[in-house]
Amino acid sequence: MTLPASKASDPRSIAGLPGGSTLLATTQQQISRAAANLNLDPAIVAELQHADREIMVMAPVKMDSGEWKYFLGYRVQHNNALGPYKGGLRYSPNVDFAEVRALAALMTWKCALLGIPFGGAKGGIQVDPRQLSDDELYRLTKEYTRRLLPNIGEHVDIPAPDMNTSDREMAWIVEEAGRQLNRPVPGIVTGKPLSHGGNPGRKEATGNGIGTVTVELLKRFGKAPAESVVAIQGFGNVGRHTALYLAKQGCIITGLSDISGGIYKADGLDIAAIDAHVATGKLLDTYQEPGVEHIDNAQLLRLSVDVLIPAALENQITTDVVTDLKARSIVEAANGPTTLAAQDELARRGIPVVPDILANAGGVCVSYFEWLANTSDVTWTLESTRTELAKTMYNTFQTVRERSQATGRDLRSAAYEIALQRVAKAMEERKEGRKAAE
């Protein structure tokens, strides 16, 4: 069997994207490496290097000024061998097909690794949401939903919040989809407000999941949370809830940052006070506390800590950062925060990295709980959500660790191998089914 080559001229190729992002190339490489370790059928690997479907929409929006503006929206559906496509929707000026393609593939691996019956997808709108009023964002979200509608659905493709989107945008999508389809469709997105069928623990889920695996990782060093030092890049939904969880466990969080810069305090920052400051809409550059020093993001990434948690953007941990790295370990809260070259250098130096597809999978895990409640008879309380999430994250961490120990390969390789094996098996069985039907 010869593999179809990934060509730059193939617009659906994950590998050969014109101007393809670093993240895309990294995702591609991870799959190739895991597939080689597993000795997988090349035809299946080739299929997994492409998305099943890619959609681009143009959303016209009447601005408050009366002027019309046009926004590009994307949705990439990578693979649905294990269940409906599932993945976030982000608003960012940098969103393009390359980024969304890579993130959609990551969702496939994340859901497979966790053992939840979803495939992988991702969407985005090329917009700087800070430049739009709330009314303009509302009209944009509704227009994007209308244009995307035939391709999303409770059992088709289920968006969720991601960078710069939240339960507010999810509520707008549910409302617009319900209006267009003339029936309530709460299961068409997850991460909704409780009033629209959301789960009480969804907002904190990604951060709590990251907290759970961080505490497990610390145990590997023989360290109790109260004697562990942590720094977190990004103080949005994920960074904030990670910090709150770890502070509650007793961790000493010495460094935090957001888009405005970072703050550092050697004996630990007051996370509750910082949370209250940010809740008023302020950024970290205006935070004051006795003993706090203001630092930049480059310094934050080079702090001497037990665990460094990048929870903002992709491609933050580069080889330059690794050269100066003083962190003992990394937990990837953001999607794709480490470049491929940096990953190799970290592996060479034996620095443990909990990969994104494991560390930040808590969000999609609780999204699954929410979707189950919307589409069946199950109900969840905050307590049952937290318990089941912690159990799932703990078990998945142990499974990945055991495979890593058994193979002698790093946690990332182990996680990808488990995920890829599950997706490949489903694809093979589907193929068998097709053959039987012929």
Binding site for ligand NAD (CB under 6 A): 161-164, 206, 233-239, 257-259, 297, 311-313, 333-335, 360, 363
CA distances from 194 to 32, 175, 282, 304, 370 (A): 41, 14, 26, 40, 10
Helix (H, G, I), strand (E, B) or coil at 156: coil
Q: What is the C-alpha to C-alpha distance for residues 421 and 399, in angstroms, rounded to an integer?
A: 14
Burial of 146 (0-12, 13-18, 19+ CB in 10 A): middle
**Structural contact between residues 74 and 56, judged by C-beta atoms closer than 8 angstroms:** yes
Shortest separation between residue 243's beta carbon and ligand NAD, angstroms: 11
CB-nearer residue toward ligand NAD: 364 or 414: 364
Shortest separation between residue 332's beta carbon and ligand NAD, angstroms: 9
**Structural contact between residues 207 and 362, judged by C-beta atoms closer than 8 angstroms:** yes
Q: Are strands 68-79 and 293-295 parallel, antiparallel or unpaired?
A: unpaired
Q: What is the C-alpha to C-alpha distance for residues 413 and 404, in angstroms, rounded to an integer?
A: 8
Tokens of 148: 């995307």
Tokens of 355: 């990969």
Q: Could you confirm whether 122 is annotated as catalytic?
A: yes
CB-nearer residue toward ligand NAD: 21 or 335: 335
DSSP calls for 247-267: HHHT-EEEEEEETTEEEE-TT
Shortest separation between residue 326's beta carbon and ligand NAD, angstroms: 18
Tokens of 424: 């490949």
Amino acid at 241: H
CB-nearer residue toward ligand NAD: 16 or 412: 412
Q: Are strands 68-79 and 53-62 parallel, antiparallel or unpaired?
A: antiparallel
Active-site option among 110, 122, 192, 203: 122
CB-nearer residue toward ligand NAD: 38 or 283: 283
CB-nearer residue toward ligand NAD: 164 or 254: 164
Shortest separation between residue 431's beta carbon and ligand NAD, angstroms: 31
CB-nearer residue toward ligand NAD: 163 or 400: 163
CA distances from 178 to 57, 87, 191 (A): 20, 20, 16
CB-nearer residue toward ligand NAD: 20 or 123: 123
Q: What is the C-alpha to C-alpha distance for residues 230 and 251, in angstroms, rounded to an integer?
A: 7
DSSP calls for 261-287: EEEE-TT---HHHHHHHHHTT--GGG-
**Structural contact between residues 159 and 184, judged by C-beta atoms closer than 8 angstroms:** no
Shortest separation between residue 336's beta carbon and ligand NAD, angstroms: 7
Amino acid at 334: A
Comparing every residue's Cβ against ligand NAD, the nearest one is 236
**How many other C-beta atoms are found inside a 10 Å radius of the C-beta of residue 86?**
29
Shortest separation between residue 264's beta carbon and ligand NAD, angstroms: 14
**Structural contact between residues 52 and 10, judged by C-beta atoms closer than 8 angstroms:** no
CB-nearer residue toward ligand NAD: 21 or 233: 233
State the catalytic residues: 122
